[in-house]
Amino acid sequence: MSPALQLLTALALTEAVELPLAALLGLRTRRALTTVALINLLTNPVLNYLGWVLARFGDGAAAPATAIPVLVAAEAVVVLIEWRLLLWVLGGASRRMLLVSLALNTASAGAGLVFWAL
C-alpha cells in the first residue's frame, strides 16, 4: 500500500472511531463534531507519517523497540494538543476536555493497532 493510501486509511479509521465516540461523550453538536474532525485532519497525518517514517527507515530488527516509545510519546503530545484545541474552540471544563481527548485518542490508537496488525 502506498504511503498516501496508508495515511488516508489511518485518517478514515480515526474519524470512524472518534466521531461516534465524541457524540457518545456529549460532543453532539455539528460544531463539536466538525471540530473533532478538523482537529484530526491536523494531527492524524503528522502522527501517522511519523509512524511510517519509523517503520520505513528504522534500524531493522530493533525498529519496533525504538519506534514504540517514540510513538507513545507522540500520541501523548497529540492528546495534549487536541485537548487545548478542543478547549480553545468549544470551551467547557478543562479536565473534561482532557479526558475526552484521552478517550478519543486511546480508542483510535487501539483501533489502529488492531487494524494494522491484521
Q: Please give the angle made by the CA atoms of 62, 47 and 12, to the nearest 5 degrees.
A: 120
CA-based nearest residue to 87, from 101, 71, 72: 101
CB atoms within 10 A of CB 93: 10
Q: Summarize pLDDT for 28-86 with one digit per residue, the tens.
A: 999 999 999 999 999 999 998 888 888 777 665 555 667 778 889 999 999 999 999 99
Identify whether the C-beta of residue 101 lies closer than 8 Å to the C-beta of residue 22. Answer: no
Q: Rounded to an integer, what distance in angstroms lies between the CA atom of residue 104 and that of residue 82?
A: 10
Q: What pTM was estimated for this model as a whole?
A: 0.90
Cell of residue 13, nine digits: 479509521
The three three-digit cell numbers of residue 41, written as one number: 485532519
| Residue pair 31/90 in contact by the 8 Å Cβ criterion | yes
Q: What are the residue boundaries of the structural domains of the chain, listed by start?
A: 3-117
**pLDDT tens for each residue of 10-24:** 999 999 999 999 999
**Cα separations in angstroms, 93 against 33, 46, 51:** 17, 27, 32
**pLDDT confidence of residue 35:** 98
